[in-house]
Structure formats: C-alpha cells, structure tokens
Amino acid sequence: MAGPRMTVVGALQLGTGVPVERILAFEDDIRGADLVVLPEAVLGGYPGRTPFVEYFAASVPVPGPEVSALAGLAARTGASLVAGVIERDGSTLYSTAVFLDPALGLVAKHRKLVPTARERLAWGRGDGSTLPAVPTAAGLAGAAICWENHMPLFRAAMYAKGVEIWCAPTADDRDVWQASMRHIADEGRCFVVSACLYETAGEDPFRGGSVIVGPLGDVLAGPLRDAEGLITAEIDLADIVAARQSLDVSGHYARPDVFSLTVDERPRDGVTFLR
C-alpha cells in the first residue's frame, strides 16, 4: 500500500449568486486547505428568481474578472478551488464548475451536461469536451454538478479517469442527497466533497447539507445545515488504495467483455466552418 499522504479538503457553504467579495471574505478560513469546493451557482445565482435579462446580466464570463478574483484567492491561500458559476458564453448560459489552481489560475472547467427541471429554461447543455480530471495537491479531482451525480454513465466515465476527489457542487438540500454522496464515495472508492447552497430568503430557500465522505462511504465532516461556513476533513489517499482492493469498478471489478462505454469528448459546436 502507498504510504500516508495527508491533505485537507473542504466544502464552503454559501448562498446563491453572492458577490465574489463574499467568497473572498473566507480567505482566512480557507488557508491551510489543499482543495475547497463551492456550491453550484454560487456566482451568478440559481435561475427563476429574477427576470431573465437581470439573471443574464449577473452571469460571469469564463475567464473573466470574477474568476480571476477566485484565482487570486487560490494563489493567496494555496488551496485549489472548484466553484460553481453561471457561465455566460455569447447569448447562452451554462452551469459550470471552474477549477482554480494556486499557481496556474484557471486550469479547467466542466459544463453541466443536463440542466434539471426549470434550469432547462435558462441553461444550455455542456458537451463531452469539458469532462476534466485535474491534478491538485489533494489528489486527482473531477466534478459532477448536482443531478449529474445521478447519471450512472457519467459516474462510470469519471471513475475510469481515476478521480480521487469527487467534487459535487449542488443545490440539492434533500436528505436523500446524503445517501447519494455516500453511495458515490463507496461505489467509486473515492473521497467526495459536496458543497451545497444555503439561503433562507425568498420562497425557495436552500437548507445546505455540505458533506465530506470517505472512500467506504463514511461521513468525515458534515452535513452542515442551516448556516454558512466551511467544513474540512483531513484525508489520506492511501485509504483509496486500500478500499479499491475489494472494489475497483474500472479495474478488476469491471467486465469489459460484457459491458462497454464510449465517451465522446469532442466539442460540439453548432456551426463548423470548413476551409
């Protein structure tokens, strides 16, 4: 078994559509962590709460000044950040997870593949070109946004990439979400860091429920309810090695002679110009 490799991961629970300065105010809390996950739509806001023109104006370009501010936070604290933002690209919005490296800044992004329910009225669909597995000081990180975590083939693809830190920005504050996070950790034999929105205002509040889970489904921190804040856990990647001795769904527990999955990671632009 690999020797101990202790790192600290965290989930920062905040409201939806907060100004970037609200995130920056947690700088002292974040310092000392190796990786911190922020909720879905923490920048830009959750849809259906304001007229679309106002909502569109609150979205952020990627890259852009707000993302640069988060990159600065990563640089000052030494923590990789995975944050859910509402990305504006032309006239289309996406629910996107951005990956910020302390030394390199914005290194990757993942666009949500399937918006859920009312989200479909506001957000476009990502394609297979943004399914990154990103090296961080805490381990190899990937992101599944909210109900993407319920897509079995999405999970299979990310497990095959060898993800060690499963980042789950979400707006799902239901109790059953906790069961989903524990299942993914146990199924993928990875650490799961889920950051949920928390907000009490309006007719559609979010209760929170940010949680950190170990590779056998054991809860290491949280769930944090009814408050803003940062939860953290010290983890050892050697626990993944030990856990995968009995279950490696992309390795010795796979049956490629029976089941196969093809993942198309080509960008799918609406228009292609041939010259």
pTM above 0.85, yes or no: yes
In a domain, 65, yes or no: yes
In a domain, 223, yes or no: yes
Q: Give the model confidence (pLDDT) of 203-262 as tens digits.
A: 789 999 999 999 999 999 999 999 999 999 999 999 999 999 999 999 999 999 999 999
Identify whether 146 is a catalytic site residue: yes
Catalytic residue chosen out of the listed positions 66, 109, 112, 148 = 112
**With bands split at pLDDT 50, 70 and 90, how would you rate the model's confidence at 202?**
confident
CA dist., res. 30 & res. 37, Å (int) = 10
Q: Are 145 and 40 in contact (CB under 8 A)?
A: yes
Count up the domains in the chain and report the number.
Answer: 1
In a domain, 264, yes or no: no
Quote the strand ranges of the chain, DSSP E. Answer: 6-13, 35-37, 80-89, 92-101, 105-111, 134-136, 139-143, 165-170, 191-196, 198-199, 206-213, 219-225, 229-236
Q: Give the model confidence (pLDDT) of 142-188 as tens digits.
A: 999 999 999 999 999 999 999 999 999 999 999 999 999 999 999 99
Assigned token pair, 235: 């983890």
> What is the CATH classification number for the domain harbouring 86?
3.60.110.10
pLDDT of residue 1 exceeding 50: no
pLDDT of residue 275 exceeding 70: yes
In a domain, 259, yes or no: no
In a domain, 20, yes or no: yes
In a domain, 148, yes or no: yes
Identify whether 109 is a catalytic site residue: no
pLDDT of residue 46 exceeding 50: yes
In a domain, 100, yes or no: yes
- pLDDT at 4 (0 to 100): 66
Element (H, E) at 180: helix 175-188
Catalytic residue chosen out of the listed positions 146, 167, 190, 196 = 146
**What percent of the chain is predicted at pLDDT more than 90?**
94
Spatial CB neighbours of 138, under 8 Å, sequence gap ≥ 6: 7, 8, 9, 34, 35, 80, 164, 165, 235
Identify whether 40 is a catalytic site residue: yes
What range defines the domain where residue 40 resides?
7-246
- pLDDT at 34 (0 to 100): 98
